[in-house]
Amino acid sequence: MALRRAVDTVLDPYRQDPEHALALLNLVQETSSLCARRLEKQDGWRALLARALAERKGSGTPSGLAQSVLAAAALDCLNAALEHWAAAEGRSDLTALIDEAFAVLAR
């Protein structure tokens, strides 16, 4: 799925320095202003993903409901996997968690 591969683009910091990424993720989760900023940033990503989906499908309708829902679901898969990874203190396989989240979505 193209959306699953798109999520991989934000995983490099988690793979390169998991300890730092975990500390940063915990800080963001514990700080309301940082959490709000992350959500704002991801809202921009949702719009970009929706546009890319529309272009890929040839619909030319970047604000289409289906594209927006799929993009939002992909970001929620990322966030859910990150939350589980953080709860496991980074000991879980983040890629496997994301794959599992997308598998649930695919059902």
According to the model, what pLDDT value does residue 56 have?
A: 81
- Predicted confidence (pLDDT) at residue 61 exceeds the cutoff of 60: no
- Predicted confidence (pLDDT) at residue 49 exceeds the cutoff of 80: yes
Among 43, 29, 45, residue whose Cα is nearest residue 82: 29
Q: How far apart are CA 95 and CA 14, in angstroms?
A: 10
Q: How far apart are CA 12 and CA 18, in angstroms?
A: 9
CB 46 within 8 A of CB 39: no
Domain residues for 78?
A: 2-106
Is this structure's pTM higher than 0.85? yes
pLDDT band at 96 (very low <50, low <70, confident <90, very high): very high
Tally of domains within the chain: 1
Residue 12: how many CA atoms within 13 Å on its side-chain side?
3
